[in-house]
Structure 1
Amino acid sequence: MTTRGRRDGRVTIAEVAALAGVSPGAVSMVFNGTGRISEATKARVREAARTLNWRPNAAATALRTSRTRTIGLVLSSSGPLPEIGAGNVEFISGIESILSPRRYGLLLNFQLAHQDETEFYRTLTEQQRMDGVILTNSVIEDTRFALLRELGLPAVLVGTPWREGEVDFIDADPPGAGIPEAVEHLVALGHRRIAYLSGPERFVLPRIRRQAFTETLTAHGIEPRAILELPYSPQAAAEATRALVKEDDRPTAFIYGTDHMAIAGIRTLQSMGMSVPRDASVIGHEGLSIGEWIDPQLTTVQRYGWQRGRAAAAKLLEVLGEEIGEDVPLERPALLIRASTGPAPAEDA
Structure 2
Amino acid sequence: MRRNADQPTIDDVAALAGVSRSAVSKVMNGRGGISPKTATAVREAAAKLKWVPSATAVALRGSRTRSVGMVIARSTDLLATDPYFAVMISGAEQVLAPRGYGLQLHLMGDDPEAESATYRKLVRERRVDGFLLTESRIGDPRFALLRELDRPAVLIGIPWRDDPQPHVQSADPLRGMLDAARHLLDLGHRRVAYVSGPDDRVHTVQRRETFVEAMRAAGVTPATVAARRFDSLEARTITEELLRRPDRPTAIVYANDMMALAGMGAAQRAGIDVPGGLSVVGHDDLPIGAWHYPALTSVAQDLASLGAAAALTLLRLLGEEPPGPIPDIPPTRLIVRESTAKATHQ
Contiguous gaps of at least 5 residues in structure 1: 1-27, 43-61
| Partners of 2:213 and 2:299 in 1: CA distance | 18
Contact 2:171 2:328 survives alignment (8 Å):
no
Residue by residue, what CA displacement relative to the aligned partner does 1:28-76 show, whole Å, maximum 9, x if unpaired? 978834554259x99xxxxxxxxxxxxxxxxxxx999832111111123
2:148 maps to a residue whose letter is E
Contact 1:81 1:112 survives alignment (8 Å):
no
Query: Identity of counterpart residues, as a percentage?
Result: 40
Give 1:193's aligned residue. 191
Contact 1:175 1:208 survives alignment (8 Å):
no
Aligned 1:279-298 pairs, distance under 5 A = 279-298=277-296
Structure 2 residue matching 1:74: 3-state secondary structure: strand
Contact 2:170 2:328 survives alignment (8 Å):
no
Alpha carbons of 1:299 and 1:94: their partners in 2 closer, same or farther (altered >3 Å)? same
1:135 aligns with 2:144: no
Alpha carbons of 1:29 and 1:154: their partners in 2 closer, same or farther (altered >3 Å)? farther
Contact 1:156 1:170 survives alignment (8 Å):
yes
Residue by residue, what CA displacement relative to the aligned partner does 1:264-294 show, whole Å, maximum 9, x if unpaired? 0110000111000111100011111111222
Aligned 1:322-333 pairs, distance under 5 A = 322-327=320-325, 328-333=327-332
Aligned 1:119-134 pairs, distance under 5 A = 119-134=117-132
Aligned 1:45-60 pairs, distance under 5 A = none
Give 1:318's aligned residue. 316
Structure exhibiting the larger radius of gyration computed from Cα positions: 2
Structure 2 residue matching 1:284: 3-state secondary structure: strand
Contact 1:82 1:111 survives alignment (8 Å):
no
Contact 1:251 1:280 survives alignment (8 Å):
yes
TM-score (normalised: structure 1): 0.80
| Partners of 1:234 and 1:263 in 2: CA distance | 8
| Partners of 1:210 and 1:74 in 2: CA distance | 26
TM-score (normalised: structure 2): 0.81
Alpha carbons of 1:129 and 1:63: their partners in 2 closer, same or farther (altered >3 Å)? farther
Give 2:26's aligned residue. 32
Contiguous gaps of at least 5 residues in structure 2: 1-21, 28-33, 43-58
Contact 1:29 1:320 survives alignment (8 Å):
no
Structure 2 residue matching 1:200: 3-state secondary structure: coil
Aligned 1:185-334 pairs, distance under 5 A = 185-327=183-325, 328-334=327-333
- State the Cα RMSD in Å: 2.4
Contact 1:77 1:83 survives alignment (8 Å):
no
Deviating above 4 A after TM superposition, structure 1's stretches of 4 or more consecutive aligned residues are: 28-31, 62-65
Alpha carbons of 1:63 and 1:231: their partners in 2 closer, same or farther (altered >3 Å)? farther
2:69 maps to a residue whose letter is G
Alpha carbons of 1:282 and 1:32: their partners in 2 closer, same or farther (altered >3 Å)? same
Matched residue count: 299
